[in-house]
A and B are shown apart, each in its own frame.
Chain A
Amino acid sequence: MNAIGENLPFLLDGFVLTLGYAGGALVIAMFLGGVLGTVDYAVHYRPVRWAIRAFVGLFRNTPFIVQLYIWFFGLPYVGVQFSPAAASLLSLGLYGSSYVTEIVRAALVGVGTEQEEAALSVGLDHRDVTMRIVWPQAFPAMVPALTNEAVALVKNTSLLGFITVTELTLRTQQAISSTFASLPLYLTAGVMYLVVNVVLTMLARRMETVLARRRRGSALNTGRGSRTEAAHA
């Protein structure tokens, strides 16, 4: 137990780094995946779709660790040198966005042609159909899958130690090499990852509940409804 107490500040520094990389990569993955998934859904120009298919195929079907090594150890071979931080964010962000692209595209397609055609039939252009009709109805369906993605991303940060980023897992190993308290320290690290992901999952559940309630509509927000009405009057 002493080993945990003595090393806790050291581990917590790593934990903060882990959170930072996970957060940064999550933003990249959600943004890039959101854009690519939407483009893949909305644009029917073949070269664009092929390019997105190729991106998703490449990044989703190769191990993350190989991608990480390519960004950090591989590219210097052709004269491109990324810092460990840049290589980490790039590789995690791109890897994550390949999954997010698929999640977003599938959810947008899932809204269905009836809704699209109904929207086209009232004179909306494709952009409005996508952003005002399809996205709002697709989003609730994305939330559970995106949560899984976020959780996976947090766990994948544990591989960044391989390119010298002193995140939680690498620091745990460093602490063990000086104290030999392997089990207590690995368990401590495990608990830290667990806490982040449990909190993340709980937030996502909360969001799903709110979205479902909003979807159920007027029965639960008549107050809000009548206020809006007053504002219209």
Chain B
Amino acid sequence: MPETGNGRTEVVLDVQGLGMSVGATAILSEVSFQLARGHTLSVVGPSGSGKSSLLRCLNRLEQISAGSVLLNGVRTDAVPAPTLRSRIGLVSQKFALFGHLDVLANVTLGLRRARRMSKHDAIEQARSWLDKVGLTGLERRRPHELSGGQQQRVAIARAAALEPEVLLLDEVTSALDPELVEEVETVILGLARGGTSLIVVTHEILFAAKVADVMLMMESGQVVETGHPHDVLASSRPRSRQFFARHLRGSGDPIGDPLSGAH
């Protein structure tokens, strides 16, 4: 656990009482949590519980209507949006690679335009990240020539190459064929272990438990459980139990011991 000089865990992202509404409808309310630098937070919960909206608020694709988000102690709404977004990366369910650019250019674009890197440095950094996600040799391919899993890994490299303070992953495996899920999950585990501060929204409960230091469960736009994955999965709250039981059914793993699971 990375620690500051005074021995306390350093908080990279501090979310306090965050609320978001569309018209009169509250999508998120009173969401609070902290993310320690180098840690991974996983967010689970039923569809429509506000998980994706939360991530979109964090990198300001959506505007919050209450509360605050602090990145390294600075309110995110005090920073120009493009600067903020290059420091809080977001990878979405639909990879949305830039179809007119090859793989390498997909990754270098943000480095060149947002980070103002030289062409040489951007290419070097992009290659290094493409290597980390196992895509060396595919730099000159176009996105449509790649498998879904490869495309999603490019999308992750594109966001991670900016070396953001926090990387948000929004159901990055849910659009993939089951046999491609694992290669992407392996990349995410690599990022988590490599010290990237991650927030992972996923429907894969076992993976959420395996990758995270802290697990957060949402329902109807509110945080209903938070804690170590073991504790959250072992919650006695009836609706949480029901949710986990439904999502773990058929996986062959007993609810109480998810970390010895299939992966």
Binding site for B on A (CB under 8 A): 114-115, 117-125, 128, 132-133, 136-137, 215-219, 222, 225-226, 229, 232
Given contacts A121-B61, A123-B115, A225-B140, contact A215 B100 (CB under 8 A): yes
Given contacts A132-B109, A218-B145, contact A121 B159 (CB under 8 A): yes
Query: CA–CA, A121 to B106, complex, Å?
Result: 12
Flag if B142 contacts A217 (CB, 8 Å): yes
Residue B98 CB within 8 A of the other chain: yes
Can you name 12 extra interface pairs (CB under 8 A) apart from A122-B159, A124-B113, A218-B141?
Answer: A114-B96, A118-B92, A118-B96, A121-B159, A123-B87, A123-B114, A124-B109, A132-B113, A136-B100, A215-B100, A218-B140, A229-B139
Residue B123 CB within 8 A of the other chain: yes
* Residues from chain A with Cβ under 8 Å of B123 in the complex: 232
Query: CA–CA, A121 to B170, complex, Å?
Result: 12
Closest residue on chain A to residue B120 by CB atoms: A232
* Residues from chain B with Cβ under 8 Å of A218 in the complex: 102, 140-142, 145
Flag if B140 contacts A137 (CB, 8 Å): no
Query: CA–CA, A132 to B109, complex, Å?
Result: 9
Closest residue on chain B to residue A139 by CB atoms: B100
Closest chain-B Cβ to A214's Cβ sits at a distance in Å of 8
Main secondary structure of the interface of A (DSSP, over half): helix
Among B83, B92, B96, B110, the most chain A Cβ lie within 10 Å of the Cβ of B96
Closest chain-A Cβ to B118's Cβ sits at a distance in Å of 12
Residue B51 CB within 8 A of the other chain: no
* Residues from chain A with Cβ under 8 Å of B102 in the complex: 217-218, 225
Given contacts A218-B145, A222-B140, A229-B140, contact A122 B100 (CB under 8 A): no
Flag if A120 contacts B96 (CB, 8 Å): no
Given contacts A133-B98, A217-B145, A232-B123, contact A121 B59 (CB under 8 A): yes
Residue B229 CB within 8 A of the other chain: no
Query: CA–CA, A215 to B145, complex, Å?
Result: 11
Partner of B94 from the list A114, A121, A123 (CB cut-off 8 Å) is A114
* Residues from chain B with Cβ under 8 Å of A122 in the complex: 85-86, 89, 109-110, 113-114, 158-159, 162
Closest chain-B Cβ to A129's Cβ sits at a distance in Å of 9
Closest residue on chain A to residue B100 by CB atoms: A136
Query: CA–CA, A226 to B139, complex, Å?
Result: 10
Query: CA–CA, A174 to B82, complex, Å?
Result: 63
Query: CA–CA, A225 to B85, complex, Å?
Result: 30
* Residues from chain B with Cβ under 8 Å of A229 in the complex: 139-140
Query: CA–CA, A218 to B139, complex, Å?
Result: 10
Residue B211 CB within 8 A of the other chain: no
* Residues from chain A with Cβ under 8 Å of B59 in the complex: 121
Flag if A216 contacts B98 (CB, 8 Å): no
Closest residue on chain A to residue B61 by CB atoms: A117
Flag if B145 contacts A117 (CB, 8 Å): no
List residues of B (64-91) whose CB comes within 8 Å of A's CBs.
81-83, 85-87, 89-91
Flag if B114 contacts A124 (CB, 8 Å): yes
Partner of B99 from the list A117, A121, A123, A215 (CB cut-off 8 Å) is A215
List residues of B (100-130) whose CB comes within 8 Å of A's CBs.
100, 102, 109-110, 113-115, 119-120, 123
* Residues from chain B with Cβ under 8 Å of A132 in the complex: 109, 113
* Residues from chain A with Cβ under 8 Å of B81 in the complex: 120
Among B59, B85, B91, B155, the most chain A Cβ lie within 10 Å of the Cβ of B85
Flag if B98 contacts A118 (CB, 8 Å): yes
* Residues from chain A with Cβ under 8 Å of B90 in the complex: 121
Would you give 19 A-B contacts (Cβ < 8 Å), ordered by A? A114-B92, A117-B92, A118-B97, A119-B98, A120-B61, A122-B86, A122-B89, A122-B158, A122-B162, A123-B83, A123-B162, A124-B82, A125-B113, A128-B113, A218-B140, A218-B141, A218-B145, A222-B140, A225-B102
